[in-house]
Structure 1
Amino acid sequence: MTICNVTIPREVQVFQMVTAIPTFILGFLANSTLLVLFCRQRKNCSDMMVYLANIALADSTALVSVPFRMYSYSNHWPFSVSSCLVFVSTYFVNMYVSIFTTVAISVVRFVAVKYPFKARAVKSPWKALVVCVGIWAVIGSLSAMFHSVDAPEANGSNFRCFQKNSERPLPLSFILTLDMVGYLLPFVVITYCTCNVIRRLSRRIDSSSSAKKNKAIHIIAANLAVFIVCFSPLHFGYLLKFLAETHWPHNCELQQFAHSFVHMANSLASTNCFLDAFSYYFLAKASWGTLREACCGTQRRERGSIVI
């Protein structure tokens, strides 16, 4: 029986470091800035501000694991097994909290634009807070699933964290849960809502509000682009690695390619931690007041408002 000894090639490690360093630095700077601004504006808090603060919090927390993840790729884990599980949970839980908070933002935008008179039913800071707490609770409660399928032995040593600990493929049910529930369902909802919002905003553009609405369209499109670029390769990689390990276990070249692809896609997914902040904040190219108006739906005309 052929056993493929897959590793993380040098060029993949270089890619990981090239993406990890700016992700860590820019991510903390951008998300910290957003969180400080949210705290200063808490008296004028809106539902969208709650959602954006939740994304910034999730991204900031996920960044904590980046240095440890980079270390673990080329070294054996020097700490306890439980600490490894904590850092793995921190990364994956916060990634999916960010994904499903983006889904909530997309749904709220869609309802506010298509059904403006029903928007009050979903646009409330307290309701947004309940949704965010619910997302954390559900994703957090499912985090044990990440470990039950491939956790190191309780008294294990000489293992690598953030990497598979078993030669067996991960269960198909686990892969489908990640790909279908964690990615495909959010992708369909976000894409549907985004396309409908952009189409409706484009129809309403007139000379007096064209600049503001065009900026809104660009921000919304950027959010969708960030989601696709960051999360599509990773979830495709999960499926590719499963198929390679299940149907072509003796093809070591394919095994190595799938292994390297997943690690590169994982690094690319981490860039979401600062691209989220850029797409919401730096794309606006404005002061906090303008950002709050653009992102939180406080910009009003005589009849209606622009909701991003």
Structure 2
Amino acid sequence: MQRQPNMGNCTEDDDTLLAKTLRLGISIPTFILGLILNTLALSVFCCFWKKQTRTSVYMINLALADVLLLLSLPLKVYYSITEAPGLLCSFIESLYFVNTYGSIFIIVCITVDRYICIRHPFESRVNQSPKWAILICCFIWAVAWLCSSPMYVFHKKDYLKCFYNMSEQAWSIPLIVSVEIFGFLIPLAVMVFCSAQNIWILLNHESQAKKKADGSGSSRVIINLVVFLVCFTPVHLGICLQCLVRQHVIVDCSLKQTISLFIQVAMILANLNCCLDAIFYYFAAKEFREKTRLKKVIELCPVFKPCAT
């Protein structure tokens, strides 16, 4: 992701032809499809949801985070090949990472909320007030923006390519360890625990009628976990490896070039989360299934057909 200093005859190509092709070939469809799906989701959750609940509040915020991230994609693509003022780069990077990690924590909240609903179904149906969900989402947004503030000191003020040329501060071990633990490993642990508990509860229901009343089979429960793993594991692995490069633990030239390409591809893959969240909306929200035509599309896909029945 970042430009490395030359060491001897070792030169790293930040933006290979393969990286440029993948960025344009995946980012453009992701932007178009993601914007359509998330705009549709926002309209359903805001206009057609019969009564706002904790779940609807989380999903509205997740769709909003996805839309904002998608809107930052054209800027990210353009200014990763064209130089821009450091302050503008800091804003674009801040916008991108705020919505990435905002999405991660809102997905975790949805998973925990689903766990509570399955674990304590009667209490959850009685108490569906969105008040706490609104407060939690406000807290997530505030913390995400606060944590993005160091972006404004990671660059010099001159013209440069965004998402490149960050200072050594950006790759300090305490900062990267904090990002990995609080931004990925803890959310992942919570999601794995809740998903495993949900599957165990659903598979051990004595009454098939009760399982049906829950509105979700065990296969549906893990959809968001699978999306999370596919989209966010590679990029956090790439961040870890790039930190080792910047700390001069990894010095082999070809390996450094491979890691540079890997993290670029991983970031492109992470953007797919904005589209895949729409699949999660379908499985998690009855209103979304009823108000959209996605059921026919889902049923045509062999991977998701068992979940759509």
Give the corresponding residue for 1:301: none
1:5 partnered with 2:11 = yes
Deviates more, 1:37-46 or 1:265-274: 37-46
2:133 is equivalent to residue 132 of structure 1: no
Alignment correspondent of 1:39: 46
What whole-Å deviation, never above 9, does each CA across 1:26-73 have from its counterpart, x for those lacking one?
110000001011121355111100000000000000111111111223
Partner of 2:96: 91
- Shift, 1:210, TM fit: 5.7
The CA distance in 1 between the partners of 2:101 and 2:251, in whole Å, is 33
Cα gap change, 1:176/1:124 in structure 2, threshold over 3 Å: closer, same or farther? Answer: same
Separation (CA, whole Å) in 2 of partners of 1:19 and 1:268: 8
Aligned sequence identity (%): 32
The AA in structure 2 aligned to 1:144 is S
Question: What is the SS of the residue equivalent to 1:204?
Answer: coil
Which 10-residue stretch deviates more, 31-40 or 104-113?
Answer: 104-113
SS class of match (2:28)? helix
Structure 1, unaligned runs of 5 or more? 293-308
Question: Do 2:19 and 2:261's aligned partners in 1 also have CA atoms closer than 8 Å?
Answer: yes
Q: 1:93 to 1:256 in 2, by over 3 A?
A: same
Segment drifting more, 240-249 vs 10-19: 240-249
Structure-to-structure mapping, 1:74-85, within 5 angstroms: 74-77=81-84, 80-85=85-90
SS at match of 2:83: coil
Instruction: Give 1:124 deviation, angstroms.
Output: 2.2
Q: Deviations over 1:241-300 (max 9, x none)?
A: 11123244542211111111111101111111111112222x5797636479xxxxxxxx
- Residue 260 of structure 2 aligns with an amino acid whose one-letter code is H
- Check whether the contact 2:105–2:187 (CA below 8 A) recurs between aligned residues: yes
What does residue 190 of structure 1 align with? 191
Match of 1:73 in 2: 80
Match for residue 19 of structure 1? 26
User: 1: CA distance between counterparts of 2:191 and 2:161?
Assistant: 35
1:8 alignment partner, SS class: coil
Aligned residue type for 2:76: R
1:216: how far off? 4.2
What corresponds to 1:232 in structure 2?
233
Higher mean C-alpha deviation, range 199-208 or range 117-126: 117-126
TM-aligned CA distance change 1:68 to 1:192, over 3 Å: same
Distance 1:81 1:115 in 2: 50
**Which of 48, 58, 71 is 1:51 aligned to?**
58
**Residue pair 2:245, 2:251 contacting (<8 A) in 1 also:** no
Q: Distance in 1 between matches of 2:38 and 2:221?
A: 19
SS at match of 1:237: helix
Distance 1:209 1:38, change over 3 A: same
* Residue 15 (structure 1) shift: 1.5
1:102 aligns with 2:107: yes
Q: Which piece of structure 1 moves more, 268-277 or 67-76?
A: 67-76
C-alpha contact 2:30 2:275 (8 A) present in aligned 1:
yes
Using a 3 Å threshold, how does the CA distance of structure 1 residues 59 and 83 change in structure 2: closer, same or farther?
same
Summarize the Cα distance change of 1:42–1:169 in structure 2 as closer, same or farther, 3 Å threshold.
closer
Match of 1:199 in 2: 200
State the 1:14 CA deviation: 1.3
Aligned-partner Cα distance in 1 for 2:141–2:215: 33
TM-score, structure 2 length as denominator? 0.83
Output the aligned Cα RMSD: 2.7
Q: Which runs of 5+ in 2 are unaligned?
A: 1-5, 293-309
Residue identity opposite 2:273 in structure 1:
N
- 1:288 is aligned with what amino acid? F
Point out the more displaced range, 92-101 or 162-171. Answer: 162-171
CA distance in 2, matches of 1:102, 1:67: 24
* Separation in structure 2 between the aligned mates of residue 138 and residue 61 of structure 1, nearest angstrom: 17
Q: Which moved more, 1:35-44 or 1:170-179?
A: 35-44
1:164 aligns to what SS in structure 2? coil
